[in-house]
Amino acid sequence: MRLILIVISFLCVTATWAQSQDIYAKYNIYRNPIRVFLNKFNWTVTSGYGATAYQHDLAGFYFFQDNDGQYILDKSNELSTIFQGYAHWMSDPVSGEEVSLENPFEVPYDYLERPVNNPELRSSRYLADADTMGLGFSSIANTVPVMVSLHFNIKKFRVGGGFQYERHYMRPLAPSTDESQIRSYEPAFDKTSYTKFFGTVGYQFYEFWDYTFVGEVQLGRAKAGKEINTSAIGIGQNFYTNLGVSIERRFSEYFRLIIKPSFDFKGYVINLPDASSVRHTNNAFMLNIGVSINIPEIPRSPIKSDHVQLKHVITDPSTGRLMEVRGQPFWKEQNPKIGQNHRRLWRYKLKNRRKISPY
């Protein structure tokens, strides 16, 4: 990250110096150097929707369920007539009560008396070898992301960084097998959050009219909210990768509408008190929508009646020196190939048609 900042600073200074040698210096046209420097950066703010797939499997564990809860125990522990496993293995593992088992693998009911559609079946005591069953749990959590990022453009490349906050709304995790007997796993929290700090690299690979397509890669750290016990998370488990395509609709050189579908690859490991661990993945599909702006390198014209769309040079009424200005707001095109904002006259737009007199 430090190297990226050094490279960006060098390129910005070089670009600013080169600019001072061009036509602006020749004709002594004033442009604020601070604005020129800040114009090199793009600010992006987005929000949207995400679907986070929480998933884990219990390979290497015994699984036990009774009326009070669901518990797991690493198979390195010898299984006897007493079972004491761990609950809340997704966020903050705690030891369960000791349970006496006369025969660990005896079916605790008669199949004929309690067929699979009997709701009492789900509250029965149930012990299984998760390896044999291929048992795991999964669900989709609704996610609301809010992102702020900054990047510097180098021809078709962009380099930068940013911050993203996510709010996850949890759902019960369904078992991967034997749903007639195993209840869905209820997380110890109904919602949680993630904060992400990342660096990003992008490349503009396609352009069509006013649309630009940019492939982007984010690499960073994702920190779980307080609902997940971070002291139980394995070391180095908070790194993540995001791959996405930013689709940008340009309204002007300073203002763009952004739609970005992307996919997160991330996960974490929860360490249990007996030194065993469970790996959880929470990959996610994200759809972010927002705006991207950069500060105009020249101000609006101080002459109120000046609405010239092209960038142009005037004599500053207050200082008397030549200065480059724009006559349009930053969200409107400043330098189009045609001399007006709209090909159709304002009077012929749909909302003004009925105002036109036929006579």
Q: Which tens digit of pLDDT belongs to each residue from 301-325?
A: 888 888 777 788 888 888 888 888 8
Q: What pLDDT is recorded for position 126?
A: 84
Shared domain check, 238 and 171: yes
Shared domain check, 146 and 194: yes
Q: What pLDDT is recorded for position 111?
A: 41
**Is 209 a member of any domain?**
yes
Shared domain check, 289 and 187: yes
**Is 88 a member of any domain?**
no
Shared domain check, 180 and 322: no
**Is 178 a member of any domain?**
yes
- Mean pLDDT rounded to a whole number for the chain: 81
Q: What pLDDT is recorded for position 285?
A: 96
Q: What pLDDT is recorded for position 240?
A: 93
Q: Which tens digit of pLDDT belongs to each residue from 31-78?
A: 888 888 888 899 999 999 999 999 999 999 999 988 888 999 998 887
Residue 188 has pLDDT above 60, yes or no: yes
Shared domain check, 196 and 245: yes
Residue 110 has pLDDT above 60, yes or no: no
Q: Which tens digit of pLDDT belongs to each residue from 134-152?
A: 899 999 999 999 999 999 9
pTM: 0.75
CA–CA separation, 194 vs 226, rounded Å? 9
Average pLDDT over residues 236-263: 90
Shared domain check, 256 and 179: yes
Shared domain check, 323 and 245: no
Its domain, for residue 342, covers 312-355
CA–CA separation, 160 vs 68, rounded Å? 50
Q: What pLDDT is recorded for position 350?
A: 62
User: 3-class SS at 123?
Assistant: helix
Shared domain check, 281 and 337: no
3-state SS record for 215-279: EEEEEEEEEECCCCCHHHECCCCCEEEEEEEEEEEEEECCEEEEEEEEEEECEEEEECCCCCEEE
Residue at token pair 């998370």: 233
Average pLDDT over residues 123-135: 81
**Is 79 a member of any domain?**
no
pLDDT level of residue 14 (50, 70, 90 thresholds): low
Alpha helices, H only, the chain: 2-19, 23-26, 33-38, 130-133
Residue 10 has pLDDT above 70, yes or no: no
**Is 10 a member of any domain?**
no
Please provide residue 7's backbone torsions phi and psi, each rounded to the nearest 5 degrees. Answer: -60, -45
Number of domains within the chain: 2
Neighbours of 110 (CB within 10 A): 8
**Is 29 a member of any domain?**
no
User: Angle at the Cα of 317 (from 316 to 321), degrees rounded to 5?
Assistant: 35
Shared domain check, 201 and 272: yes
pLDDT level of residue 164 (50, 70, 90 thresholds): very high
Contacting residues for 91 by C-beta, under 8 A, at least 6 apart: 187, 188, 189, 192, 227, 228, 229, 270
Residue 116 has pLDDT above 50, yes or no: no
Shared domain check, 50 and 178: yes
**Is 109 a member of any domain?**
no
Q: What pLDDT is recorded for position 352?
A: 62
**Is 11 a member of any domain?**
no
Q: Which of 284, 254, 245, 198 has its CA nearest to residue 39?
A: 254
Shared domain check, 191 and 43: yes
Shared domain check, 158 and 227: yes
pLDDT level of residue 103 (50, 70, 90 thresholds): low
CA–CA separation, 288 vs 149, rounded Å? 12
Supply the CATH number for residue 220's domain: 2.40.160.20
